[in-house]
Copies of this chain bind each other. A is one copy, B any other.
Amino acid sequence: MRDVAIVGVGSTQFGRAQWSLLKMMCEASNDAIVDAGIGERKIDAVYVANMGASRNNRMAGLSSGLVDRMNLYPHTVSETIENGPASGASAIKHGVHSVASGYCDLVLVCGGERMQEVNNFEATEFVSYLSHRYAEYPYGVTLPSLAGMFTRLYMERYGVEARHLAMVAIKNHLNGAKNKKAHLRIPITMEGILTGPDALNNNPWIAEPLRFFDCCPVSDGSSAVLLAPAEMVKEFKKTPVLIAGMGQATDSQAVQDRPDPTELTAVRMAAERAFAMAKLTPKDIDVAELHDAFTILEIVESEECGFFKKGEGHKALERGETQIGGKLPINPSGGLKSRGHPVGNTGVSQIVELVLQLRGEAGDYQVPKQPKHGFAVNFGGFGNNVVATVLKRGV
């Protein structure tokens, strides 16, 4: 089995895209190719991470479309990989297997999602297709409503308060404001969204106890990474980043099937598997991108992944440990909350952001003392198919 490294990254602006899905994906892909400097080398495969093109964009065979637009036929082969909102990390995993096996040398993994072709109600309906077909969906369950119930239980059991949820949003908006590619570059304050006289107007309920600013936006965007065998990294321009560990695990699809619905078992197990493969521990991690589709998730994931004890994530947050400059910066890019959440793409964008951090190229939101180890959690469904990744600067 060969080790696999990331030799190039690229990303579009996140937000309401002016361009078609394929044009966005071409932009991110070309950026990754130029970033790596591949010269005359051929790309053996393109794996696309996407969740909704056949429903929201009326496009099937999206990966073949990308190969066509990038003029990579006939040599380059392709597939689309879907694992709900964890599609991005899953597509990278498939790229890793293809390179590790020796079947491919260069694999381009491109995530892309263009949500604006449907309205926000339709987008929420589409995402609710992730819920259990008989146990959840017919009762009108949506992902925000599941997250609301989960949050209430967590608040009651562990003493998490509304202000802690707001702190996640404030931190991530502050970070995202410094990230030129983020969707919501709007600094927000505790007074504005929670304690001030206009708070309820500014920040209405979505699924109580979750408010507007506890939920990530519906975004368009595309990101890409170029994978190569570790033995080839010297042929490329930039500092390589090793995929030191990848772990994945599953959980029941219906949340009501879980013995304790406040446990995110698949997150814990995916992280343990990723750390075991990397032969590292949570203490070794210098920067993390967690899947904060809802503010509560950043807190709980920071516990399940072993960075803080169960029930203490919100205390570490309150102490400022997860800010840029803190002990373990979480979501310096702005996270899903501010950078945005083009669902099928998100896992790729998390890895792109970590690579920029490990290379010291994150600019205004660079974590101090150029980090060596990065960590990401990409969360599918309501935690029923989760992928964790450990990255290491150098090979």
Which positions in A face B, CB cutoff 8 Å?
A: 1, 20, 22, 51-52, 54-55, 58-65, 67-68, 72-84, 87, 90, 93-94, 96-98, 100-103, 126-127, 129-130, 132-133, 137, 248-254, 257, 265-266, 269, 380-381, 384-385
Contact = CB atoms under 8 A, between A and B. Distances in A.
Nearest to A55: B55
Contacts of A90: 79
Nearest to A69: B253
A78 to B, nearest CB: 6
A31 B61 CA distance: 29
18 contacts: A59-B133, A61-B129, A61-B130, A63-B82, A63-B83, A63-B385, A64-B130, A64-B253, A64-B385, A68-B253, A68-B257, A73-B249, A74-B251, A75-B249, A75-B250, A78-B250, A79-B81, A80-B81
B94 A101 contact: no
B100 A384 contact: no
Q: Is the interface of A mostly helix, strand, loop or mixed?
A: mixed
Contact of A54 (B52, B74, B249): B52
Given A73-B384, A101-B100, A103-B97, A64 B129 contact: no
Contacts of A257: 68
Contact of A73 (B20, B79, B103, B251): B251
B250 A380 contact: no
Given A133-B59, A250-B73, A1 B101 contact: yes
A73 B383 CA distance: 12
A80 B83 contact: yes
